[in-house]
Structure 1
Amino acid sequence: MLNAMIYLDHAATSPLDPRVLEAMLPHLRDTWGNPSSPHAKGREARIAIDTARQSIADRLGVLPHEIVFVSSGSEGNSLAMFGSCERWLQTHEGPGHLITASVEHSCSLKAADKLEAAGWKITKLPVDAFGMLSATDLEDALTEDTALVSLQWANNEVGTIQPVEELAAVCKKAGVPFHCDAVQGVGLLPLPSPVPDLMTIAAHKFYGPKGIGVLVVREHIELCPQVMGGGQEFGLRAGTENTAGIVGMAAALELCEDKRQETTPYIRNLRDILVSGILSMEGTSLNGHPEHRLPNFANIRFEGLSAENILMKLDMAGICVSSGAACVTGAIEASHVLTAMGRSATEAKENIRFSLGKSTTEKEIETVLQAIQASV
């Protein structure tokens, strides 16, 4: 019989907080009207959405009309990138230049590839051996035709935290809009200050529901919508709003931010115990920046061992971890993040990502260390 499941894959998704579910249930059962309808049932849903929008705006330090609800982080990133580039084309004679990084989430890299196929010039900034970007490299890459810079706050595979405030300052000086994919950092780190021109977050990364996210669009930024229809979300994202999901996202963000200063040190301490224990084993090494790394992240290389085999053994022991981004797991390929950091194709297949959460316990970490020792 398997032991109770130990979940260390919060970077992929987090469990729904019971208090968030409780906040959502009335809106699944009762507030089911279309928020665009003029009658009482519609107004009921609209009030719930407007209240949640205000709450999220307050937590993020922006204005309510700068909150655009989307279905996911991937959609938010796509709206930021394609929406910015389409707007550029309305005022310029042809495609311009977009800057991203070699270690971005696959949704951003695929968006960049599609833009490149449409004639856009794409620069993918390099990173160092820790996965860190350089503000100097960004400054050197900017041109008079740069329409957008789109970069992660924290990497979804190795957890390296980028100097987004410095990167945003470079863009501001050059007069170029800056989009920050902040999906992995919210709930774990203090928000960037000031909030970037465009910023993507997703509720399911901080104990909220799946299927709902936000693209922050500061009021000086103009985008072209990518989903056409009824003109919801200030004309930027058509489609009947997900009332329960929006309410759940607001509740999750409030709970996470209220407790962040307590939960982050707690998680970091457990993460450090895990990393110390694993690195005492022969043939192991840490991927990502040793200091500027998400407090719940530990991406470990097991030299000469297949990540797939380790994953299978840990799964059989009731331990949920991953070998990289959930969006690409299953296609057994070398991690593009690790190869960008200088690892060989073979080395980039020898890594396990552990990502802890607020419910992780020290006893669970002890059990995981024992299971890893038995698996390697």
Structure 2
Amino acid sequence: MTGGIAAYKACELLRRFTESGHDVTVVPTESALEFVGAPTWAALSGKPVATDVWTDVHQVPHVRLGQSADLVVVAPATADTIARAAHGLADDLLTNTLLTARCPVVLAPAMHTEMWEHPATQANVATLRERGVLVVEPAEGRLTGKDTGKGRLPEPGEIFELCTQVLARGAGTAQDLAGRHVVVSAGGTREYLDPVRFLGNRSSGLQGYALARAAAARGAEVTLVAANTSLPDPAGVKVVRVETTGQLRDVVVPAAASADAVVMAAAPADFRPLAVSDAKIKKASDGSAPAIELQQNPDILHEISTSRPRAGTVVVGFAAETGDETGSVLDLARAKLARKGCDLLVVNDVSGGAVFGSPDNEAVILGADGTATDVPRGSKSALAHAIWDQVARRLQD
């Protein structure tokens, strides 16, 4: 870690790595130790801490650390360290480690908005990304003092999740979504009947968030449109929150115009009340129930699939099916794929409430080209990467 006020958050990140069984060597800069001292890092990692290349010089640490690492993550990464890394400087143990590392490298910037947006910083970030470094987009929120804006270190738990995915993909794995802008929707929309009641569905948003995290780990610029979720913002992801299907459409359709891929993992309500009561609907004294007239909501997936404002955009839909007397789950899904006009359709069999709120998922990914890919039951993260594998292949065609 480097010398920013967010260095204290790295203690939590270190704890998550060590408690999950990883062997961690902490390499701070001198200025980082002004914020959190060496005894803290040594106690949490179980290893001595050094900032210079002269400590234990017989072990050649300035070369050995980078050569032996499976992952190098710099959190927080200051503007100064980003600049030194981009220009190949090697004046301390951390920058020497970055030069010798042949494993994936993740930088999690943290700085004031003006520093992040400065042309020099943006040029340095672009240089590092061109070299294959995963530079995470900083979060927006409270900064040092009273300032707020973009530049906040993402939450340690989310940095850990991103790093876990990078580790799982392994060294030498290309960031096949680098330079791509992807839009992901997640959660379930609500259509209000009155100020306190709504029509909704059981979507938790977990699969959409897994898709956003996976895309960020593969180097993409990610816009996540989240409908009524309480999940933490994934590291490096721009999150836009919505409630209704109309609001979802108002965000997704314009965002799709500049997107290389759109994955509609959200569950939009198919219908909304024709009229919304300004006051809470009261129970009738005679026990009768009010009649609620519904109207159909816009079909966002069909609109994006058929309009294609940007040539080459890959569009992915989801189908939660149970099957009925008219056909099996896959029969109904294939008909939906043709009707919607998307490139890929991820089919979930939700009979008996399966999938909703579960950390695991299984699916069949149907392609408009006639392909069908079975994804066995596993984590929603595993399914997310299987989906992005299909998307990346089509983007390269």
Q: Which has the higher helix share?
A: 1
Q: TM > 0.5 between the two?
A: no
> TM-score if structure 1 supplies the norm length?
0.28
Q: Which has the higher strand share?
A: 2
> TM-score if structure 2 supplies the norm length?
0.26
